[in-house]
Amino acid sequence: MMCLRIVHLALIPLLAFSGMATAQSLSSASHNPFKKHKYPWKMNITATIFWVGESPSGRNKTHNYSSSWDTHWAKNFGGFDNPDPKARHKTQFRPKAFKPRQNPFYIALPYNDRIDWRKHKPEAKRVIPWFKKYNPKPGKTVCKGRWLQIVFGKKVCYAQWEDCGPWTTDDWRYVFGNRRPKNKHNKGAGIDISPAVRDYLGMKSGDKLHWRFVDFEDVPKGPWARYGDNNPFVHPELDRDLLAKRRYMQYLQKRRDDNS
């Protein structure tokens, strides 16, 4: 009989979260979320600036009143994320006109894991490193809200993935692989950053940065921790990694009980 020791006694309280899971959810939680994954750096990626509430202009025919995952993005954010430096707090990195209801430190990457509200793209389960850990329902995104570490010069910033772009939404070979961005517009831009990220890093559109995915437990506190209904610093229950660990502990307990 396989030995099924509970990983650490300190983790036992995780079992109490939200009561006992159903047999179906326990069986689907067998992917070990305690296993660390090293996310590779994407080096020298051209960044462009975008913002919630942005209107179409020039070659960009897509507005940002909604996002790929939120049809009421501007409303849920709390308003127009004015990119004008004169309209922004210099120390809080947010618009002066209102306190945002979502994290103003956000980015877009050129991939959407969903086909629609009911179905994931066929490669999503295979290429997204954390897909199996979260075991989402069909059509439920596992990309929205994911944290990135961003480096520009000697400054380091953290932000959440909240939209898809620039220009394309199917470039998984770059986002999760080792390819360069396939987009050729705007000097081959491979990431959109919000005004808050821009201001914190001291960047301008067209500058190059380095980025990688990080787990939330590895994100230090900073101005990106202040605001947001979508922010696990503000609402700890949104930490998907912690939820996955709790489900896994329940799974281990059930396996132990079944084999006792």
Reported as a pLDDT band with limits 50, 70 and 90, residue 16 is: very low
Residue 225 domain flag: yes
Whether the bond between 166 and the residue before it is cis, its omega within 30 degrees of 0, is yes
Residue 5 domain flag: no
Q: If DSSP codes are grouped into helix, strand and coil, which group holds residue 84?
A: coil
Q: How much is the pLDDT for 257?
A: 81
Q: What is the pLDDT of residues 74-93, one digit of tens each?
A: 999 999 999 999 999 999 99
The larger pLDDT score, comparing residue 248 to residue 205, is at 205
Cross-strand partners of 99: none
The upper half-sphere exposure of residue 69, i.e. CA atoms within 13 Å in the direction of its Cβ, equals 24
Number of domain units in the chain: 1
Residue 16 domain flag: no
Residue 156 domain flag: yes
Residue recorded with tokens 């660990």: 245
Residue 14 domain flag: no
Q: What is the pLDDT of residues 168-224, one digit of tens each?
A: 999 999 999 999 999 999 999 999 999 999 999 999 999 999 999 999 999 999 999
Residue 11 domain flag: no
pTM: 0.86
Is the pLDDT score of 125 beyond 70? yes
Reported as a pLDDT band with limits 50, 70 and 90, residue 10 is: very low
The larger pLDDT score, comparing residue 48 to residue 2, is at 48
Assign residue 163 the CATH number of its domain: 2.40.40.10
Residue 228 domain flag: yes
Contact between 211 and 46 under an 8 Å Cβ cutoff? The reply is: no
Structure letter (DSSP) for residue 201: H
Residue 83 domain flag: yes
The larger pLDDT score, comparing residue 242 to residue 258, is at 242
Domain limits for position 178: 37-243
